[in-house]
Amino acid sequence: PCWRVEDFVVAQECTRCSSFQAKTIAECSPTGFIEKINCATSKRDEFKSCRSAVMEAHVFWRFVGTMMCVAAIFAVLVVCRQRVLDRKALEKVRKQIESI
C-alpha cells in the first residue's frame, strides 16, 4: 500500500463498512471500519483500515460497566463473609463464657 511508504491525505473520514464493502474490500476485515486516503506522490486513492472513536468509547464504557458490576458482586460477598465470621466469633465467645 502506498500509505506505508509515502505521505497521504485522508479523503474520507473513518466510517463503518457496508455489507458490500465488507465482502469486496480486504481492509474492512480487521476492524469493520475504513477510511479513504489519497497518497501524495503517486496520486492513488486507496482504503485503509481504521478504528472508530465512537466504537472505542462504546467498548470502553461496556468494560467499565462490567467491572463495576463485578466489583459490586464481590463487595456483597465480602460483607456476607464478614457477617458469617463475626457470627462464628460471637458464638465462640458465648460458649467460652457459658463454660465458666
Query: Residue 100 class from Cβ within 10 Å (0-12 exposed, 13-18 middle, 19+ buried)?
Result: exposed
- pLDDT (tens digit per residue) in 3-62: 777 788 888 888 888 888 888 888 887 788 888 888 888 787 888 888 878 888 888 999
Give yes or no: residues 8 and 46 share one domain.
yes
Task: Give 95's pLDDT tier (boundaries 50, 70, 90).
Answer: very high
Q: Which residues contact 38 (CB under 8 A, 6 or more apart)?
A: 8, 9, 10, 11, 44, 45
> Other C-beta atoms within 10 Å of 33: how many?
19
Give yes or no: residues 93 and 71 share one domain.
yes
What's the total number of domains in the chain?
Answer: 2
Domain region containing 57: 53-99
- pLDDT (tens digit per residue) in 63-84: 999 999 999 999 999 999 999 9
Candidates 50, 54, 45; CA nearest to 32 is 50
